[in-house]
Amino acid sequence: MDISDLKRMLIGEPFPTSQEIHERLDKVRALAVFASDPISSNAYATEAIMSVLIVLGSGALSLTMPLGLAVAGLVTLVVFSYIQTIMHYPMGGGAYMVSKDNLGTLPSLFAAGALLTDYILTVSVSVSAGVRAVTSAFPELFEYRVIIALTAIMLITWINLRGVRESGTIFAIPTYAFVVGVWVVLVIGLVRYFGFFEAAPIPVFEETTPAVVSATGFAYVWILLRAFAGGCTALTGIEAISDGVQAFKPPESKNAAKTMLVMAVMAMSLFIGITFLSTHIGMIPHEGESVLSQMTRRVTGGGFIYYWVQFFTATILFLAANTGYQDFPRVSSFLARDLYMPRWLQNRGDRLVFSSGIIVLAAIAALIVIVFQANEIAMLPLYAIGVMLSFSLSQTGMFRLMGRIAHLKPGETLRTQVTEVHYERNVMWKRALNALGAVVTFTVFLVLLFTKFLEGAWLVAVLIPVLVFAFLTVHRHYERVAEALSTKDLKAEELTEVANVVVVPIADVHRGTLLALQYAKRFSSDVRALSVTTSDEQRERLMRRWERFPEVTSDITLVTIDYDYRDILRPIIRYIELLNNEEFSNKLTTVVVPEFVPEHQAARILHNQTANRLRSRLKHYKDIVIIDVPFHIDSKL
Amino acid sequence: MDISDLKRMLIGEPFPTSQEIHERLDKVRALAVFASDPISSNAYATEAIMSVLIVLGSGALSLTMPLGLAVAGLVTLVVFSYIQTIMHYPMGGGAYMVSKDNLGTLPSLFAAGALLTDYILTVSVSVSAGVRAVTSAFPELFEYRVIIALTAIMLITWINLRGVRESGTIFAIPTYAFVVGVWVVLVIGLVRYFGFFEAAPIPVFEETTPAVVSATGFAYVWILLRAFAGGCTALTGIEAISDGVQAFKPPESKNAAKTMLVMAVMAMSLFIGITFLSTHIGMIPHEGESVLSQMTRRVTGGGFIYYWVQFFTATILFLAANTGYQDFPRVSSFLARDLYMPRWLQNRGDRLVFSSGIIVLAAIAALIVIVFQANEIAMLPLYAIGVMLSFSLSQTGMFRLMGRIAHLKPGETLRTQVTEVHYERNVMWKRALNALGAVVTFTVFLVLLFTKFLEGAWLVAVLIPVLVFAFLTVHRHYERVAEALSTKDLKAEELTEVANVVVVPIADVHRGTLLALQYAKRFSSDVRALSVTTSDEQRERLMRRWERFPEVTSDITLVTIDYDYRDILRPIIRYIELLNNEEFSNKLTTVVVPEFVPEHQAARILHNQTANRLRSRLKHYKDIVIIDVPFHIDSKL
């Protein structure tokens, strides 16, 4: 079995490019693929609010519900804005594309850098969180957490490399199972709480914890802001669909918009439901058990539903990583197409996914998991910051776009840089909502950045500008290359000429070198065999053997250089340099290097050390072409 | 500053080959270079005997001196035998050469494998022992022991790369300082012990420790054997000079033999002196402090001489590694010359040392230090076993040689495979001593192997045969290659023909590909540009650009292949395969690959991914020559 069979077995048969449309996602699968991150946020978003408020004492937990509603309001704003984005930018690309079209290059690169950072962290954080769920259940696995996390990353990478439709199918089950499980808990909980159908009421323990701090004025507002910012983790991944509109079956925009709406309703029903129920039955966040787990246990009294929810919570935390796998490669491919990242990131693999992007993502995320030892608590301060910046940029961009649309008259069309927009009604309203969204998300961005700055957020504040700088560097490089390669105004006679000379460095006369010499003779009448001799006997031996094959050697000049050092590459390179600089300056000079190719890879260490070094040193010369003439040795090592 | 300036700075100016004779060692330097291992053995050899005997109670320590004398007797035998070797094999190579000449290939490879294993361990063990001396003095450095050990290896490697004469100069000081220091201690000690010059007697404490085991019969003999074997660590490195006869100034054999004699006297005077004094003033081995340190402290009462000896003990333990650096590269070069190891191991570097061997040794020794975490106690069971095997083989070989010399009459000369011997007197006596030496060292080999088998010696018992197998494999490979390359009975018309066709895979028409096409046209009238197109627009665009440069493209066939997958290498390779198998079967087919060469290494990741993959996949084909036509891009990234 060779490497390509193995690849086939792991990844599956390649799909033809024309089949791309069949690999698109229907809405049910798309929801599973893109929504795992925002839906999984419900495992911790309510708790994130409560665990800030608790410093003000358990009495302050009553503020959870209003803050939750505010978060839900913000989600509504953001979702609304992204649905607009999807409808106006059907090619996908989300915040990057909107910023590029409306705000210019630099903001778009910031949006992209922020998104890419966040997608990498999505993978590292959610896989680590999934591992924590596993090691909470089986503490003896704790010391293997990094290995488990890396295995999970490999598994998710593998599934994603098999194609988006297949991963959609696989990931649909746990996503829907989690949603349905929590819904069932919420329904039971609400029925019992309100005493419908004469259900047994939920026991409510009124624990009170005293305030850790007593805050007034600015400090109080600051704590509320932090609680609100904590709740905003529920927003992460909500933009995912806007990046991948082209993953949907046609009509892409409509299907994507509908899916986004369903996702938002689903995620928000969970969020508001969990927030309402857990605060009203007096849940208090503490280290040992998550609020969701406490609530489920209290409502169902343990048992099957409890374990169902727990199991699928762990699973969906793992799967939230998948949102990163969907969008990192897509956003990268957009950047690669615009020449801000290596061009090969836009290549689709055998199964029509952006394989290179998937592998790059997996590698970086794995590195982060190793550095942070799969401790997601340590990574959390880095997380969700980037996405807020991209929200804010994206909504600012939409605000601008709406401003341009506002000038259109009914029936008029405006071609922007990347899309086409038409007259719309209620543009001013939409614009106002975009403005509000931009301001609120930017505020949340600042709150997150400052509250977590010393815990690690500074890293993100450094990383995003560094990424932007890298994008610009890559871009400048590609631009220069394009200029260098341009055939504009090129006249054929400007091309570098080819010198009529071939140099063949040889150490001895044997079948391998004779073959190389014969090859060289085919395309030049001026072949020079070049040999460095370190003793008289060696030179004489060479001459004797040389004269034995006049059929090959007769038209060839044999140049021997006596040399009293062992570094025989130096005189060879000096000779070629002189030839190239003086005798044939500004012409392509050809060097033929005889090369042994043993059957076994392992045998390579026994050969070619000199040839390899010669090749790597000649590589830096501008006008030298190196030809390896292979001589295959059929030895079984 | 480029890489070659850096090399010059680190290693020094290259020496011409003809200057080799000036780089040879005089006797003073040679002693320092080769004797560091046997002399440093005195830091622990006596203790090695005592720490076995102590299990029989402190009373049994009185057996140390007789055992020490037995070891000294064995050393005399071995030294005598090696002096014979040096005189009869002036080319060096020690046990390997003797076994090869007298016992055949397989024994010689076992001798070589055993020696190489031991030289590697010499480096790992002695560097680690040196680090232990340092961390005993400064316990806070203990956690950095691996780093310190690796730094020491790098340092010794560097000094050795600078040339043998220079390293001899550097290593002379600590070697002689150690010897003189211990001699001074011994003289003071003996003077005080015997009460000469009315010196103050050494306080003798008569501690008694009870026997840990009470052994009789076989068990008793076994313990004595183990104690004796422990003392035999004093023999390690004693053969070093015989491997490196050619490192001496002429007359090589005489100088080497004299140096060996001086070394033996020096090492044995230390060994017997330390053994006598330490047992007679009642030293008892214990974990906290070495016997040599105890003895020095008791004799000198601490103070300057004590610290001198301690300091140079640590230094010479580090330097014992140098014996490995002298002989591993030499023995490897002999094996490489006989084609049992990669041929490049016989190349001398800029400073006329076997640089490749030095670097290979450093790499393996460093690996072992990392694996064993610089814990030399764990490595010791592996150590000194190989060297005993090589002693035994070497003396058996000399026994055979003496037998052959015995048949000569005065004035007669015998040419063996590698050397020339003459009539000698007293041959039967020499023969008997060789036989005795061979039996004793083989016994010690077996005792070491069995007593330490489970502690790790099994690894050596596995490793040496594996090495021998590797030598034979390499040899067979080189033999087959020589056969394949042989020009014996070669007729010129048998050489593979060169097909008159050139394939140039191109993705687009730009300056880089035009250059490659122009180059291809120089040496074939049948140039085929090959392009894989994945859409109609792409094909049309290509055609349009193709027609813009008739000066270049007019005589070239443009082959386009429509392809519905992304793996565009597949159709390219299939086309070349077909061409090579059918149209031009059994002829060398040429493929020209345009290649970008950006100025910055870092920019490579942005280019050539397809070209590199194509090249590595075509490498496996037998009759395909790949030409990279470089297109340099002078961009500042």
Q: What is the pLDDT of residues B477-535, one digit of tens each?
A: 888 888 888 877 777 666 777 888 899 998 888 888 888 888 888 778 899 999 998 88
Taking the C-alpha atoms of residue A565 and residue B17, their distance in angstroms, rounded to an integer, is 5
CB atoms within 10 A of CB A141: 14
Residue A3 has pLDDT above 70, yes or no: no
Given a cut of 60, is residue B371 above it in pLDDT? Answer: yes
Question: Can you give the pLDDT at residue A486?
Answer: 80
Burial of A444 (0-12, 13-18, 19+ CB in 10 A): buried
Give the one of B477, B566, B624 whose C-beta lies nearest to A349's C-beta. Answer: B566
Helix axes B291-300, B304-337, angle to 10 degrees: 150
Residue A136 has pLDDT above 80, yes or no: no
Chain B residues inside the 8 Å CB shell of A564: 16-18
Closest Cα in chain A, distance from residue B18 (Å): 7
CA A371 to chain B, closest CA, distance in angstroms equals: 21
Nearest by CB to residue A511, choosing from B487, B512, B619, is B487
A515 vs B522: CB contact, 8 Å cut-off? no
Contact A509 B523 (CB under 8 A): no
Which of A16, A588, A635 is closest, CB to CB, to B480? A635
**Closest Cα in chain A to B591:** A627
Structure token digits, residue B392? 């035994």
Nearest to B627 among A14, A348, A625 (CB): A625
Which of B173, B162, B164 is CA-nearest to residue B23? B164
Question: Are the beta carbons of B564 and B534 closer than 8 angstroms?
Answer: yes
Contacts of residue B470 in chain A, CB cutoff 8 Å?
none
For range B327-343, the mean pLDDT: 92
Quick check: B322 and B36 in contact, CB under 8 A? yes
Contacting residues of A for B498, CB less than 8 Å apart:
518-519, 522
Query: Are B619 and A630 inside 8 Å of each other by CB?
Result: yes
Q: Give the pLDDT score at A2.
A: 65
Give how far A303 is from chain B: nearest CA, Å: 50
Interface test with A, best of B356, B480, B562 (most A CBs within 10 A): B480
On whether the CB atoms of residues A31 and A326 are closer than 8 A, the answer is: no
CB A261 within 8 A of CB A273: no
Find the residue in B nearest to A624 (Cα). B630
Query: CA A99 to CA A243: how far, in whole Å?
Result: 13
What is the DSSP code (8-state) at residue A352?
A: S
Predicted confidence (pLDDT) per residue in B86-113, tens digit: 999 999 888 999 999 999 999 999 999 9
Nearest alpha carbon to residue A330 among A82, A103, A97, A37: A97
The residue behind tokens 């003895």 is: B295
Q: Partners of B557 in the beta sheet?
A: B528
The answer to whether A277 touches A187, Cβ cutoff 8 Å, is no
Measured between CB atoms, which of A14, A473, A628 is closest to B565?
A14
A478 → closest Cβ in B481, B534, B606: B606
Cβ atoms of A77 and A357 closer than 8 Å: no
Contact between chains at A487 and B633 (C-beta distance less than 8 A): no
**Residue A486 — φ and ψ, nearest 5°?**
-55, 135
Q: Integer distance in angstroms from the first to the last C-alpha of chain B?
A: 20
Q: Measuring CA to CA, which residue among A95, A108, A112, A121 is closest to residue A37?
A: A121
Task: Report CB contact under 8 Å: A511, B484.
Answer: yes
Collect all residues of chain A within an 8 Å Cβ-Cβ radius of residue B16: 564-565
CA distance A535 to chain B (A): 10
- Cβ B524–A519 below 8 Å, yes or no? no
pLDDT at B139 over 50: yes
Contact B548 A485 (CB under 8 A): no
Q: What is the pLDDT of residues B519-530, one digit of tens each?
A: 888 778 899 999
State whether A565 and B484 contact (CB < 8 Å): no
> What's the pLDDT score for residue B514?
87
Query: Does pLDDT of A174 surpass 70?
Result: yes
Q: Which of A77, A79, A53 minimizes the C-alpha distance to A66?
A: A53
**If you count residue pairs, one on A and one on B, with CB atoms under 8 Å apart, how many are there?**
186
End-to-end CA distance of chain A: 21
CA distance B148 to A445: 47
Q: B510 vs chain A: nearest CA distance in angstroms?
A: 5
Local confidence band at B637 (pLDDT 50, 70, 90 cut-offs): very low
Given a cut of 80, whether residue A369 has pLDDT beyond it is yes
Task: Tell if the CB–CB gap between A519 and B588 is shorter than 8 Å.
Answer: yes
Higher pLDDT, B349 or B460: B460
Residue with token string 């005792």: B447
pLDDT of residue A162 exceeding 90: no
Query: What region does B107 belong to: left with phi over 0, alpha with psi -120 to 50, or beta?
Result: alpha
* Chain A closest-CA separation from residue B368 CA (Å): 22
Contact A477, A344 (CB under 8 A): no
Q: How far is B502 from chain A (nearest CA, A)?
A: 12
Q: For A320-365, write each residue's pLDDT tens digit.
A: 888 899 899 999 999 999 999 998 888 888 787 888 999 999 999 9
**CA dist., res. A336 & res. A356, Å (int):** 11
- Rounded CA-CA distance B517/A252 in Å is 44
**Spatial separation of the C-alpha atoms in residues B99 and B111, rounded to whole Å:** 7
A-chain residues within 8 Å CB-CB of B636? 480
Q: Which two tokens stand for residue A467?
A: 């990424």
Determine the Cα–Cα distance for residues A306 and A137; give it in Å rounded to an integer.
Answer: 14
pLDDT band at A226 (very low <50, low <70, confident <90, very high): confident
User: Does A17 sit within 8 Å of B565, measured CB to CB?
Assistant: yes
Q: Is the pLDDT at A193 greater than 80, yes or no?
A: yes
Question: Which residues, 6 or more positions from B498, have their beta carbon under 8 angstroms from its beta carbon?
Answer: A518, A519, A522, B587, B588, B590
For the residues A150-168, what does the mean pLDDT come to? 88
Q: Which of B527, B565, B593, B599 to mutate to test the interface with A (most CBs of A within 10 A)?
A: B565
- Which of chain B's residues have a Cβ under 8 Å away from the Cβ of A477? 598, 603, 606, 635, 637
In chain A, residues with a C-beta closer than 8 Å to the C-beta of B478 are: 606
Q: How would you classify residue B250: left for phi > 0, otherwise alpha for psi between -120 and 50, otherwise beta?
A: beta
Pairwise CB contact (< 8 Å): A627 & B630: no
Q: Which helix (DSSP H) or strand (DSSP E) does residue B500 occupy? A: strand B497-505
Nearest CB among A14, A523, A548 relative to B523 is that of: A523
The DSSP output letter for A25 is B
Task: At B293, list the tokens.
Answer: 């340190």
Instruction: Sort strands B587-598 and B624-633 into parallel, antiparallel or unpaired.
Output: parallel
CB B613 within 8 A of CB B576: no
Query: For residues A332 and A467, what is the distance between their CA atoms, to the nearest angstrom?
Result: 12
CB half-sphere exposure, A198, CA atoms < 13 A: 0
Distance CA B270, CA B332 (A): 32
Q: What's the CA gap between A146 and A159, in Å, rounded?
A: 20
Rounded CA separation B410/A196 (Å): 124
Nearest CA distance, B266 vs chain A (angstrom): 38
Mark yes or no for CB contact A347/B514 under 8 Å: no
Interface test with A, best of B343, B634, B635 (most A CBs within 10 A): B635
Asked if B477's CB is within 8 angstroms of A637's CB, the reply is: yes
> Strands across the sheet with A557-562, in order?
A557-562, A527-533, A497-505, A587-598, A624-633, B624-633, B587-598, B497-505, B527-533, B557-562
Q: Model confidence over A595-630: pLDDT tens digits?
A: 877 777 777 777 767 888 888 888 778 788 888 888
Handedness of CA A434, A435, A436, A437 (dihedral sign): positive
Q: Do B625 and A626 touch (CB under 8 A)?
A: no
pLDDT at residue B451 tops 90 = no
| Residues of chain B positioned with their CB less than 8 A from the CB of A478 | 606
User: B17, A548: Cβ pair inside 8 Å?
Assistant: no
Beta strands A497-505; A420-422: pairing state: unpaired
Mutate to test the interface with B, among A343, A488, A496, A577 (most CBs of B within 10 A): A496
Say if CB A530 and CB A548 are below 8 A apart: no
Contacts A596 to B, Cβ<8 Å: 481
Q: What is the DSSP letter of A249?
A: P
Strands A624-633, A587-598: pairing is parallel
Q: What is the pLDDT of residue B232?
A: 86
Q: Which residue among A498, A551, A633 places its CB closest to the CB of B481?
A: A633
The average pLDDT across B354-369 equals 92
Going by C-alpha positions, the residue among B567, B614, B569 that lies closest to residue A351 is B567
SS (H, E, C) B261-319: HHHHHHHHHHHHHHHHHHHHCCCCCECCECHHHHHHHHHHCCCHHHHHHHHHHHHHHHH
| Contacts with B17 from chain A: Cβ below 8 Å | 534, 564-566
How high is the mean pLDDT of chain A? 86
Strands A527-533 and A557-562, by their bridges, are: parallel
The Cα–Cα gap between A312 and B139 comes to 52
For A80, phi and psi rounded to 5 degrees? -55, -45
Give residue A637's pLDDT.
Answer: 45
Say how far apart CA B391 and CA B389 lie, in whole Å. Answer: 5
